Amino acid sequence: MAGRVEGKVAFITGAARGQGRSHALRLAQEGADIIAIDVCRRVPYEVSAAATEEDLAETERQVKGLGRRIVAKQADVRDFDAVKAAVEEGVSILGRLDIVSANAGVVGTPTTTESLPEDEWRTMIDINLTGVWHTVKAAIPSLKNAGRGGSIILTSSVAGLRGYANMAHYVSAKHGVVGLTRTLAMELAADSIRVNSLHPTQVNTDMIHNQPIYDLFAGKQGATKAEFAAASSRLQMLPVPWVEPVDISNALLFLASDEARYITGAALAIDAGSSLL
């Protein structure tokens, strides 16, 4: 049987590891070729460890191991020209573009709004909101010119549906992604390009497994992973502390496939019920 996205090409940002790598592999398993970018260096104020060039190379290796083609480039979503060049090179090699996953993002450093440095606010908005805009702005011409429609999936967060104390910069950026999603859905509908947002709860990646995030959720300094897990579990309706990257990738696959051909402007929560609490 043909895969659910057989013969299509997906552009994925933040693809070196975590959710981005998971998205690349899940789409490749279902027949897609991949254009992958990642900054592959440390971002100021980010509490999780930086992805590396070796991480991106590993994503490339694994996609090829699935028998699919991949064009992998180091690029920063804050740099529109770099993102645009990566898309254009990928399309020239792979021949088309059908799916866009604006996944790249950072969690920043937990802090009160009054203590948040100006530069950290700007860094967060530049990556988690402007970087998403750059991604779609770079990809839309290829989608439109092909005349085949397409699917754009923007990664927001459960923090795009509710507030979290001490995360004003992150919450604001992720709420902004929802507004961008709805506007793009309206603008691109006539071209049969669907635009939806994903809203994960905590995902089992390096982004949540670090001391500042443990301390934030547990409400104490020096919190252990077990204490974080217990506190995180209380924020979900289902009895789990976090979900796995593939859970988000399966949702992305659905939105990218023809199974979701009439879904646009939607905010899909993969949050174990967190947004209802």
Report, as residue numbers or ranges, the catalytic residues: 170
Report the alpha-carbon distance of residue 44 to residue 67 in Å, rounded.
36
Long-range CB pairs of 140-145, under 8 A, 24+ apart, other chains included:
140/188, 140/193, 142/87, 142/88, 142/91, 142/96, 142/97, 143/97, 143/98, 143/100, 143/188, 143/191, 143/193, 144/191, 144/193
Please give the DSSP secondary-structure letter assigned to residue 48. Answer: S
Residue 118 burial class via C-beta count within 10 angstroms: exposed 0-12, middle 13-18, buried 19 and up: exposed
